[in-house]
Amino acid sequence: MKRTKNVNRARLLISCSDQPGIVAAVSEFLHRKGANIVQSDQYSTDPEGGMFFMRIEFDLPSFEEEFSSVEEEFHTIADRFDITWRLESERKTKKMAIFVSKEDHCLLELLWRWRSGELDVDIPIVISNHEDLRDIVESYGITFHYIPVTKETKQEAETDAKSIMKDYQVDFIVLARYMQILSPEFVKSFEHRIINIHHSFLPAFIGANPYKKAFDRGVKLIGATAHYVTNDLDEGPIIEQEVLRVNHRYDTGELKIAGRNVEKIALARAVDWHINDKVLVYENKTIVFN
């Protein structure tokens, strides 16, 4: 069932050094703007010299006028406490591009949740380095772009992809089992706005055929990790992880099926949290107000 948007709702996310008076100052500021705070979450890494993180949802009765006013004037609070912040409106629907290769399980999970209204997002484009999933994507009424990638054409392919992202005004990217390593230049263009999924055997069973290696080792847990992409391969800030218990009766094929199940669940959950501005990144960690 499609989620109902609250057209008067906004979200404020802040991070700064922990210090007295932050909550009071932010709350008083919003009160002066006529805001009604409906949810407030906060976290401090250490009250003595640590970091402070906060996510506030609030309603603004005179939204169009007051939202701009909050955006223009909050710097007075931000400057006072040296706050890093961003303000989001529930009226704006984020635009998500999906990058895929040949495997379809994560892609289909995202498309199904999008069509059912579980993911409040626009998906204007799917990009792939293979043609295999074109028919599936186009059956959802979504534009499919085939951009082949070779060692010799990698830079050109990424340039084409960035141009497409700009044309469609994409807010963030999801790598739904996209089997290409992105360049540092591309990652920098979408810092903390590229979400990836991989199996959680790492650093064990690295390389090809991880499920065969896991079977040979007799693993008892299958896992998946969704994270923001950085230039350290598969080591970016973790957004979500999921696990499933298995046993000796699982063969390699069944382990792979279990892995696909946890991958698509973890990825969809991470995407949902990103869409709803529930994730704050600090260094190589995330604070998730879910």
The residues annotated as belonging to the active site are 234
Neighbours of 159 (CB within 10 A): 14
Residues 35, 29: Cα–Cα separation, whole Å: 9
Helix axes 105-115, 252-275, angle to 10 degrees: 40
- For residue 136, what is the enclosing H or E element? helix 134-139
Beta strand pairing status for 51-59 and 9-17?
antiparallel
- For residue 226, what is the enclosing H or E element? strand 221-228
Q: Is 250 left (phi over 0), alpha (psi -120 to 50) or beta?
A: beta
**Residue 68: CB partners within 8 Å, gap ≥ 6?**
none
Helix (H, G, I), strand (E, B) or coil at 83: coil
Residues 11, 289: Cα–Cα separation, whole Å: 12
